[in-house]
Amino acid sequence: MKILCVAEKPSISKAVSHILSGGKTKVRNSRNKYVKNYDFKFDFPGVGLCDVTMTSVMGHITNIDFPTQFSWGKCNPGRLFDAPTIDNVSNKEVFENISTEARRCNRLMIWTDCDREGEFIGHEIFSAAVKGNPSLRVEDIWRSQFSHLERSHILQAARNPIRLDMNSVHAVRCRMEIDLRVGASFTRFLTDLYRRTQVFPLEKGGFISYGTCQFPTLGFVVDRYNRVKRFIPEKFWYISITVKKDNKTETFHWTKNHVFDRLYLALIYQNCLKYENAEVVQLIERPTSKYRPLPLTTVELQKNCSMYFKMSAKRALDAAEKLYNKGFLSYPRTETDKFPPTMDLKAVIQKQTQNSTWGQYASELLNGRFRSPRAGSHDDKAHPPIHPVNFVKLEMLDNADEKKVYELVVRRFLACCSEDAKGKETKITLRWGTEEFTNSAIVVLERNFLDVYPYMAWKSTTPLPPLLRGETIKVATSVMKEGKTSPPQHMTESELIALMDANGIGTDATIAEHIDKIISRGYVVKVRKNKNDFIIPSELGMGLIEGFNDLEFDNLSLSKPFLRKRLENCLQDIVSGTKVKEQVIQEIIFLYKQAFGLSVQNSTKLIAACRRIMDTNSST
Amino acid sequence: MDLIQRASKIAFNPSTYVNIESSRVESPILFYIIRIENISESRLRQLESWEELEDPNNASVDRVNKHKQGNNTKNNRVIREVDMSDDPLPHNNGSEAQIYRLLLKDCFDNYSYGYEFNDKLQFLRSRNSNGGPLPIVLGSRIIVYQGALILNGVIMLESAKCKFLGTDGVDKGFLDSLNSNIISKYANALRHELHNG
């Protein structure tokens, strides 16, 4: 029996064939210089010793497009919502390699990444294979389930294949078709409009690209920018008091924080001034903790890299992907923030004991300090949280990004398996007249996970004066203070990731791409201020969003996340089998088509908004 | 004569008390609540909430505790800010933490202010039974009892010293004029205050 195994990337096919063959492979070149074919034998349960050829693709090998009569300039962009589509082979060499290798095989085994996109690529591989070997049937495909390249895990995956999930295949196909129709129609419409009216100088061959995720992403940046610009500071007032004991003066803060009404504060303050003393009405001493972090998801990894290392989401994910391809990390695209109960966490810790910096800490965990990680509430049912799989010395890694990401993942994992940091909190509340004032102090008693997780800080504060419950103490000073509200910050990348996630825009895996895209399209720019990178919109980006905001969409706004979120939810319904692809395409395309019609009718508004932005900017 | 009738006969002219630091209400007074204002929240933030009601297509959520993000699937609300701190503490910004100022009118057309004082007035924290955006219908009546504190002509309202009576049917025209277009009235007033200090 002959089995053809196909992975999503050359590095995975190399690593998997090395594990399955026990290092005994024969390597053949394909017509593509990166893709190799590995021949070896493997004993599949129930089938026996088989001849195996393992090869790979390099991502997608086909794409969808419109027939030539629907190309740019040959038809009205609005027709693209209903135009026929054709499937093209986008990587001929790789496609043909699979067709050729499939000729003599009895069975196809898919080793693409275990996510929706991987499932779809698995089906593209099947299309290539069936071209060379029409006897192959989609029901007979073996689909391996794996999350990382650790030897026993891969062997387990090889021995327990499942079927290709056709629902996921349909969901991706649905998303691709909608993205194509909506993206192409709006891109052509906007580009033609901007060129015709010359409202914005487009470079020769330049275009205004529209994407169903890109625009809501840009919308967040513009929204924040506008809020910063429109911000008006407001005064507020509050009372602050100090008391003195044992030569120690301590400030206590008003429990009402502050008010925006000076009269109210003046009346309250004047009323309190009748009282000379304050009474200790509450003295609480209680144990407190700083929780160890939750297991690491893709979104958290990207947020953390952005926050701790100023590394863009795309760079963070690229580095994590490379580390996964090399077998050092688990699959980095995951929404899961709880470890499966069956996972041998101590075996993962064991591998880290060799490290010169955190090895000692890892050993201590194994010697009794291990704690079960906290469990979050998300589970994508496909992959565990991101964790280290194999040990590697940092100096052996290729670049600074990989080093930082690997170290973060390892430290995060060890922190997850540690005890929370422990401390003691003292909180004192004083009552002066009718008002209460409070202050608290923390003594850190055990640092625990903080010892291995320097990205988080928790420090002891100055102790409070030794006051007793019920004690009356003279108010040393009291003041009515004035403050003012400060503007929101411009958007940071980590916040944008969090917002996209919270609003259901993009999946954990694609968030980085969308941000990268609005930067490369020139819709936003990164600016550095006080050592922080902020994302602010360009004139073009502002003009586009303001234009769409000016159209009176009813629940269809193209600059808001609702439509895309609805699509993401529908895709999930296809995966779970409650909706079919055709139904979703019809439903979503209908909505976008309406939005398109409205945009065309109101194109003067779109242009007027852009002119307004440009005029305002040039006048300031 | 019952209490409400008696209270409606008593006038409260704040100018009489404006220079008296502290005094007490001498007998129950009936007031109409003409306006309520939150003095714990910035006007800009309040305006954003009103604008959300003005244009639901532009609705937004201001602050989302990150633990709740996943559950926030209500349509047409854009989440605009996410707490990025490591350990988000529960923010005490629910209606409990707010302090309200009431514009009051007695039965003789004298206007005065009343502040929430010392404790929380429950009628300002229940949902408006008519589904409106304010906790009460404007024009509702309140009796302020004898002994309530007056500081420089401003009435300090405590639960034990006042009673919320709701609306009186005979005031329909008055109630309608106060409550009609309330969203744009509040939003416009806040915009005006913000831009004119």
Mean of pLDDT values over A211-219? 92
- Classify domain B12-56+95-196 by CATH architecture: Beta Barrel (2.40)
| Helix A298-309 and helix A400-416, axial crossing angle in degrees, nearest 10 | 120
Residue A264 has pLDDT above 50, yes or no: yes
From 1.10.1740.10, 2.70.20.10, 3.40.50.620, 3.30.1370.60, which CATH number describes the A235-292+421-484 domain? 2.70.20.10
* Best residue in B65, B66, B67, B78 for a mutation probing chain A (most A CBs within 10 Å): B78
> Which has the closest alpha carbon to A219: A497, A556, A489, A561?
A561
- What residues of chain A, 365 to 394, have a C-beta less than 8 Å from chain B? 377-378
Confidence at residue B62, expressed as pLDDT on a 0 to 100 scale: 32
Global pTM? 0.86
**Range with the poorest average pLDDT among B54-63, B68-77, B100-109:** B68-77
- What residues of chain A, 428 to 447, have a C-beta less than 8 Å from chain B? 434
Q: Quick check: is A331 catalytic? A: yes
Q: Which residue among A38, A331, A406, A523 is the active-site one?
A: A331
Q: DSSP letters of B77-129?
A: -EE--B--SSSPPPP--SGGG--EEEEEE-TTS-EEEEEE-SS--GGGSSPPT
Contact A248, A393 (CB under 8 A): no
Give yes or no for A561 touching B (CB within 8 A): yes
Residue A318 has pLDDT above 90, yes or no: yes
Give yes or no for B155 touching A (CB within 8 A): no
Q: Kindly state the percentage of chain B with pLDDT values over 70.
A: 78
Contact A243, A475 (CB under 8 A): yes
Mean of pLDDT values over A424-445? 96
Of A236, A267, A494, the CB nearest to B151: A267
> Which has the closest alpha carbon to A415: A397, A388, A395, A382?
A388
Q: List the single residue in A with minimal CA-CA distance to B196.
A: A232
Q: Kindly state the percentage of chain A with pLDDT values over 70.
A: 99
Mean of pLDDT values over A15-25? 95
For residue B50, give the amino acid letter.
Answer: W
Q: What is the distance between the alpha carbons of residues A157 and A496, in angstroms, rounded to a whole number?
A: 36
User: Are B40 and A256 in contact (CB < 8 Å)?
Assistant: yes
Taking the CA of residue B169 and the nearest CA in chain A, the distance in Å comes to 33
Instruction: Look up residue A445 and give its DSSP letter.
Output: E
Q: How far is CA B166 from the centre of its chain?
A: 14
* Best residue in A222, A224, A232, A482 for a mutation probing chain B (most B CBs within 10 Å): A232
Of A502, A504, A562, the CB nearest to B64: A502
Of B76, B79, B87, the CB nearest to A499: B79
Residue B69 has pLDDT above 60, yes or no: no
* Contacting residues of B for A504, CB less than 8 Å apart: 73
Provide the ipTM: 0.89
* Contacting residues of A for B43, CB less than 8 Å apart: 234, 260
- Classify domain A2-164 by CATH architecture: 3-Layer(aba) Sandwich (3.40)
* Best residue in B47, B48, B57 for a mutation probing chain A (most A CBs within 10 Å): B57
* Contacting residues of B for A259, CB less than 8 Å apart: 39-40, 99
pLDDT, tens digit, 9 for 90 and up, residues A472-509 = 999 999 999 999 999 999 999 889 988 998 888 877 77
pLDDT, tens digit, 9 for 90 and up, residues A546-556 = 999 888 776 67
Confidence at residue A157, expressed as pLDDT on a 0 to 100 scale: 95
pLDDT, tens digit, 9 for 90 and up, residues A27-81 = 999 999 999 999 999 999 999 999 999 999 999 999 999 999 999 999 999 999 9
Give the pLDDT band (50/70/90) at residue A590: very high
Name A530's Cβ contacts closer than 8 Å, sequence gap at least 6.
none
Residue B95 has pLDDT above 70, yes or no: no
Tell the residue number behind the tokens 């903790």, with chain if given. Answer: A289
More confident residue, A125 or A340: A125
3-state secondary structure A463-521: CCCCCCCCCEEEEEEEEEEEEECCCCCCECHHHHHHHHHHCCCCCCCCHHHHHHHHHHC
> Which has the closest alpha carbon to A347: A394, A389, A294?
A389
> Which has the closest alpha carbon to B29: B103, B112, B107, B114?
B107
Q: Kindly state the percentage of chain A with pLDDT values over 90.
A: 82
* Contacting residues of B for A420, CB less than 8 Å apart: none
Residue B22 has pLDDT above 60, yes or no: yes
The count of other CB atoms within 10 Å of the CB of residue A111 is: 30
Give yes or no for A291 touching B (CB within 8 A): yes
Mean of the per-residue pLDDT values of chain B: 82
Q: What is the distance between the alpha carbons of residues A301 and A280, in angstroms, rounded to a whole number?
A: 45
Q: Give the largest CA-CA distance in chain B.
A: 62
Confidence at residue A620, expressed as pLDDT on a 0 to 100 scale: 65
For residue A214, give the amino acid letter.
Answer: Q
Q: List the single residue in A with minimal CA-CA distance to B119.
A: A434
Mean of the per-residue pLDDT values of chain A: 93
Name A77's Cβ contacts closer than 8 Å, sequence gap at least 6.
A184, A185, A186, A188, A189, A192, A596
Q: What are phi and psi of A583, to 5 degrees?
A: -60, -45
Contact A40, A17 (CB under 8 A): yes
Of B43, B70, B75, the CB nearest to A260: B43
Give yes or no for A260 touching B (CB within 8 A): yes
Q: DSSP letters of B2-39?
A: -HHHHHHT----GGGTTT-SSEE--S-EEEEEEEEEES
Mean of pLDDT values over A452-481? 95
Residue A407 has pLDDT above 90, yes or no: yes
Across B127-154, b (16+ Cβ under 10 Å) vs e yields: eeeeeeebbbbbbbbbbbbeebbbbbbb
The domain segmentation of chain B, as residue ranges, is: 12-56+95-196
List the CATH code of the domain at A169-229+492-619: 1.10.460.10
- What residues of chain A, 209 to 238, have a C-beta less than 8 Å from chain B? 219-220, 223-224, 227, 231-232, 234, 236
Confidence at residue A199, expressed as pLDDT on a 0 to 100 scale: 86
Residue B55 has pLDDT above 80, yes or no: no
Q: What is the distance between the alpha carbons of residues A505 and A503, in angstroms, rounded to a whole number?
A: 6
Of B44, B101, B151, the CB nearest to A232: B44
> What's chain A's length in residues?
620
Give yes or no for A517 touching B (CB within 8 A): no
Of A258, A267, A495, the CB nearest to B82: A495
Mean of pLDDT values over B96-123? 92
pLDDT, tens digit, 9 for 90 and up, residues A156-199 = 999 999 999 999 999 999 999 999 999 999 999 999 999 999 88
Mean of pLDDT values over A572-588? 95
**Range with the poorest average pLDDT among A28-37, A224-233, B129-138, B188-197:** B129-138
Confidence at residue A285, expressed as pLDDT on a 0 to 100 scale: 95
More confident residue, A20 or B74: A20
User: Are A499 and B21 in contact (CB < 8 Å)?
Assistant: no
Q: What is the distance between the alpha carbons of residues A411 and A392, in angstroms, rounded to a whole number?
A: 13
Q: What is the distance between the alpha carbons of residues B72 and A94, in angstroms, rounded to a whole number?
A: 43
B137 in helix, strand or coil? coil
**A37: which 2 tokens?**
């074919």
User: Are A502 and B73 in contact (CB < 8 Å)?
Assistant: no
> What's chain B's length in residues?
197
Give the pLDDT band (50/70/90) at residue B94: low
The CATH class, in words, for A298-416 is mainly alpha
* Best residue in B20, B36, B44 for a mutation probing chain A (most A CBs within 10 Å): B44
The Cα angle at residue B103 between residues B99 and B104, in degrees rounded to 5? 120
Q: What is the distance between the alpha carbons of residues A548 and A206, in angstroms, rounded to a whole number?
A: 21
The domain segmentation of chain A, as residue ranges, is: 2-164, 169-229+492-619, 235-292+421-484, 298-416
Give the pLDDT band (50/70/90) at residue A13: very high
